[in-house]
Each structure stands twice: as C-alpha cells, then as structure tokens.
Amino acid sequence: MLKRIIIALTIACFALAETKATPKYIFLFIGDSMGLGHIMATEEYLRTNEFELLLMFGFPNVGIMATFSASSPITDSAAAGTALACGHKANR
C-alpha cells in the first residue's frame, strides 16, 4: 500500500512539474520524525475529529525522500540531515 502511495505521488509530481513553468523559488520543509506513517496518522486524526487538513497537502508540488542511514534502516536526525544536505548516506 505504501509503495502505491509513493508511486502515485511521484507520478503526480512529475505530471505537475511538466505542465508548469520553472519555479522562481524552492522551499525545502524538513520535518523531524515525519515519516509517511506519522503523516497519514495525523491526517486520519484530523479528518476523524473534523479539524482542518494539513496545510502541506495543499502545496502544488511535493517530493518524498528516503533518508535511512548507511548502517541501519532506522535513522536519526544527523544521518537524515546529512543525506538531505549532501546526497550521501552517513552511518548512525
């Protein structure tokens, strides 16, 4: 199920990216402990309790990055930050 969601989001991002002009600015929002499970659980809670949905679901383009460390499938903030900043995995 998770793979299908990721694939669908990726396809949607590419489709939107091809139809729009080059962006003037790109903002990178980095949420610590915000895996897809956390986001989906929060969204379900908000939907069940009739709160407004998460603002980030209204962004025109969204990307997802896997930031697990080089030495473990479970990462910490430092290894994830290294992967996001320089594109190379680090050991925990």
pLDDT for res 36: 81
69 is catalytic: no
**If you compute the radius of gyration of the chain from its CA atoms, what whole number of angstroms results?**
15
Average pLDDT of the segment spanning 2-31: 70
**Distance (Å, whole) CA 81 – CA 21:** 29
Active site residue: 69, 71, 72, 77, which one?
Answer: 77
pLDDT for res 84: 77
pLDDT for res 64: 76
Is 76 labeled as ligand-binding?
no
> Using one digit for the tens of pLDDT, what is the confidence trace for 53-78?
888 878 887 777 766 788 888 777 78
pTM of the entire structure? 0.51
